[in-house]
Structure 1
Amino acid sequence: MIETNGLPTTYRDPDLPESVTIYEVGPRDGLQNESATVPLETKVGFVERLGAAGLPIVEATSFVHPRWVPQLADAADLVARLDLGGARPYPVLVPNERGLDRALEAGVTHVAVFASATETFAARNLNSTYDAQFAMFEPVVTRAREAGVQVRAYLSMCFGDPWEGAVAPQRVVEAGARLLAMGAYELSLGDTIGVGTAQHTRVLIDAFGEAGIGTDRLAMHFHDTYGQALANAYAALRRGITTFDASAGGLGGCPYARSATGNLATEDLVWMLDGLGISHGVDLEALAATSAWMAGELGRPSPSAVVRALTS
C-alpha cells in the first residue's frame, strides 16, 4: 500500500474548470464486452457501490436486444432494482424505438442513443447507413422528450475508425450537430478505438466551437488503447470541457470494434482531478475499493493504475 493518504498533492490551476461531472459508464460500457455474463446480483451491487462512492450519474445498462449484447440481457431486472426516483440518474442506452419502449416501461428518466460518425461503423454497429441512423434516432429522441425523459447522444469513431482510418473533425461536427438538433441535451464524443492524442482533442473541440457548439453541450469519452486517455482528458479540460465519461477500474471496450480496449479509468481521472484541485464529488477510496471488488468478481486484476496502487 502506498502511503499517500489516498490523495495526491494539490496544485490548483486557475485556468482550468473549478468542477467537473463524471458520467460513470462502467456498468454498461464496461460490462457489455465481458466474455462471461456477470450475475445480476453482482451488477446491482456494482451500481449501488458506485452511487455510494459519490458518482453523480451511473449509466446502468442498455436495452439492446439480448441477441446482440447477451451480457446485458437482464436490463429490465437490473433497472427494477434501482431507485429511479432519487437524485442520482441511472441512464440506459436505447438503440431504437423498441429499446425506448422497454425503457419507458421500466420507468427510466434518462436515456442515451448511440450514433456513428462513420459509414462503416454505422453498418457494423447499427445495421444502418450513416444517414439512415439519424432517421432511426429522430423518433426515439422525440418520443423520449415528449415523455419527459432526457436524452443524451453518444457519437462514436470521432477520432479514428478501424476500417476507414482518420475521421475529419468536420465530419464529426456535422454528425454531432444533427444529434443535438434532434433534442439531445448533451453530446458525448467517443474515441472508440483510443487513437486520439492531446492536440487532436483540442482541434476537435475547437471545430465544434467554430460551428457555434460550446463546451457546455459536449462531453468526452476516451478509450485508453494507446495510453493516451488521461492526456486527452487533460487537453479537453484546458479547452473547457466539464463532463467526462469514465469507467470504474478501466473496464470496457466495444463488442463491434475489437481494437477498442478499456475506457478511461474513473479512478485515474479522479486522481488527476484531485491533483489539479478540481472538485467532482467522488470518494476515491470507496471507488477504488469498488473496482477492486469488481476485479475480484471478474477474476482478473483491474486495468486502472490508481486502483492497483491504492489497493495492492
Structure 2
Amino acid sequence: MKFDVYASMLYTANSPGTLILNIHALRTPNQTVVSEMFTLEPYIKAEELVSIHGENRLVRFEVANPGEISIVYTARIDNAYKLVELGDVPETPVHQLPTDVLTYLNPSRYCQSDKLFRLANNMFGNIENPFQKVSTLVDWIYNNVQYLSGSTNSQTSAFDTVTEQAGVCRDFAHLGIALCRALTIPARYFTGYAYKLFPADFHACFEAYIGGEWILFDATRLAPLNSMVKIATGRDAADAAIANIFGDISFNAMQVNCTLADENFVPFYYLPGGTQGISYL
C-alpha cells in the first residue's frame, strides 16, 4: 500500500542552536521509501543520523543565525504489513526473549510499569493468551480514558494518565506500554504518520512482543491499524520525539498529512474476540 506523507514545521531561532528532527519515514524490510524530499529555508546543511538498531532516522542541523526556519518533508512510502494468527500463541517466558527485546520490559521515564504492577495483574493477569490480554487492556484504556486534546503536557506519564483518566495518543500509548510491561509482555512506543487520522497529526501507538512478532495496538482507535507509516520506535516518547531543540529556538507552527496513493484500501481494526494481530517490520 502506498502513502504520501507531508510535514511542515516553522521555528524561530532567537540565538544560535541545534535542531534534531525525527520526521523521516523509516526504511525497513516492509517499508520502502520510494521517494522523499527534505528542504530547509533558508538553506542550512543537514546531516542524517541513523540509530544503531534502525529505530529512527534523525536529521541534525545547526542554526547559526537568528531568524525563521521553515522545514518541509515529503515522501512516498510503499508499505506492507502482515496479519499474524495469535489465537493459540502462548506467552514467551523471559528466559526465551531475544536480548534486544529485554529492554522493553523495563520501566522507563513515561512508562512506570513498576507502579502499575498491582493494577495490571489484578485486572488482566488472569487472561492466559497474550494477544487477548493486550487486546483487553487496550479496550479498557479506550473505555476508561477520555481522549482530550490539551489535557496533558510533555511531563505526563502513564501513572498520571491512570489518575487523570484523560490524555492524547501519546498518553494512551504510554499507558498501554506500562500495563504490558507490568504483565511481563515487552512493549515499545511507535510514532508515525496515519492515513484517515483526524485531525491530521503525527500519531502515537504501541507494539507488544507476542509470538516472536511486534504486534501493533492503538488504544485511541483514531486510525485504521493498516494505515500507519512508521517514523520511529523506542522505550517511550523520549526515544522517539519528533524534535529535540538545543538553544533558544521557539516552535511556531506545524502541518502534517498522510494521503492514500493507492487504490482499494480496506480499513482494518481488531474485532472483539479476534485472534489476528497486525505486524509492521
Q: TM-score, normalised by structure 2?
A: 0.28
Q: In proportion to residue count, which structure has more helix?
A: 1
More strand by share: 2
| Bigger RCO of structures 1 and 2 (CA < 8 A, at least 6 apart) | 2
